[in-house]
Each structure stands twice: as C-alpha cells, then as structure tokens.
Amino acid sequence: MQENHEVFLGQKESVARYNLDAKETVWSTKIKGTPTLISTFKGYLIIQGLNKWGTKYIVHCLNASSGSLLWYSEEFKNIIVPHFIADDMFFLDQKGQICKVSLPKGQVYFREKFAGAFRQYTFHLAVSGEDVYLISKSKTLLVDKSNGSTSKIKGMSDFAKGKISAVCGNNLDQISNISSHIAAAAQSGGFVAPMNGGANGGSGWGDGG
C-alpha cells in the first residue's frame, strides 16, 4: 500500500490535516486560541496552545482520523509533556503534581502531590513498560496508576552522582519532550505534528475513540 504523506497544521483558532501528495485538506477543525504544540498518540491528536489574549493555556484532544473534538480543557496552567499508557495520559502539572487524564473523555482521574513544595520539582516523570515512575537523585517512586499514590523503590536512591536533569522511559512522546521548551517560549508559533506519535505511538491515523 502506498504511504500517504500527511501532516497536521495549526494556526489561529484551527487545526487541519493536510495531504501533501494530493495538496488538499482532509479535514479542518475550529479550536480555541492558537496552537503552539501538536503531538499524536495512536488515534489521538493532542493540541496545546494559548487563548487569544495569551493568558491561559488550552489543551484540545481530537480524533486524528476524523478531526472531531473529543474534549478541551483550560485546567492545566502550563505546557505539559505527555506520557502515555493505553488510552491515558500522564504528566506533571505546573504545581509539580502527578496527573492522569483520559484521552477519550478528558476526565482527570487524579492530581496528586508526592513530595514537599520544593523537593517535588527535583523529580522527573518516566514511563517504562506499563509502569509510571518519579525519579530524582535522592529517591525513585513507583506511581499507583489507579489513584496516584506513590511508594519508594528500595535500592534506587543516590545512584546518580549529581542532580538528574533529564529522564526518558520507553513510552514518552519524544516530540513533545523536545518541543515543550520551545513552545513555552514561542507562545504563538505553529508546530507541525509528528507522524508517529513518539516511541510507541503508531501511525497516528487510527480512530481516537
């Protein structure tokens, strides 16, 4: 089967799926604000951006195949770096809390604190296999995916000599990880969505719900 060359394009108040071979728009969907970061996982399209005044962050989730809106939220106050397991998204919010959100419905399952006000910012989120970890120089925590509670993993403290500056598991949307810093600074620039949704994202063109 011949591969189609397609991309997702974001501009003020809209996102479109565009076929580069046919030079035509497959679908176009209106959204709130201006996209600054677009990423895919399975059949989901996650769009992050700012409202028209540049004062609020907005997250949209669309069905990548049809362009239909699944949900949007203004609850998260920063650009997030999404990590995926099945149909759920895990990330750290602006308060350093561990969060779990349903990709099909946008339901927030939990937003949980796991360390003190200052120490929580020394942790990095990583997904390996089907497990979620919070890793710092001093300790590694295993996250209970059902409720966000954490337990310390013995023998995993002080294994690094210095402060840990970056962590990567095997279920991270790599494009989001790289681009989140750019997007946070750009505020209004557009980004083309990745075609493969990261390490385990698949083609990105399947059904999202």
Which domains are assigned to the chain? 1-82+173-202 (2.40.10.480), 84-171 (2.40.128.630)
Q: Is the pLDDT of residue 209 over 50?
A: no
Q: 61-65, 103-107, 186-190: which has the minimum mean pLDDT? A: 186-190
The mean per-residue pLDDT over the stretch 55-61 comes to 94
Residue 11 CB contacts under 8 Å (≥ 6 apart), including other chains: 34, 35, 190
The mean per-residue pLDDT over the stretch 147-164 comes to 79
Compare 9 and 182 and report the one with higher pLDDT. Answer: 9
Q: What is the pLDDT of residues 129-142, one digit of tens each?
A: 899 999 888 888 99
| Token pair 């409202």: residue | 51
pLDDT, position 156: 67
3-state helix/strand/coil string of 111-170: EECCCCCCHHHHCEEEEECCEEEEECCCCEEEECCCCCCEEECCCCCCCCCCCCCCCCCC
The mean per-residue pLDDT over the stretch 29-43 comes to 93
Q: 84-93, 109-118, 174-183: which has the minimum mean pLDDT? A: 174-183
pLDDT, position 120: 64
CA distance 130 to 140: 16
* Percentage with pLDDT > 90 across the chain: 53
pTM exceeds 0.85 for this model: no
**To the nearest 5 percent, what fractions of the chain are helix, strand and coil?**
10, 40, 55
Six-digit token string for 106: 């946008």
pLDDT, position 184: 46
Q: Is the pLDDT of residue 98 over 60?
A: yes
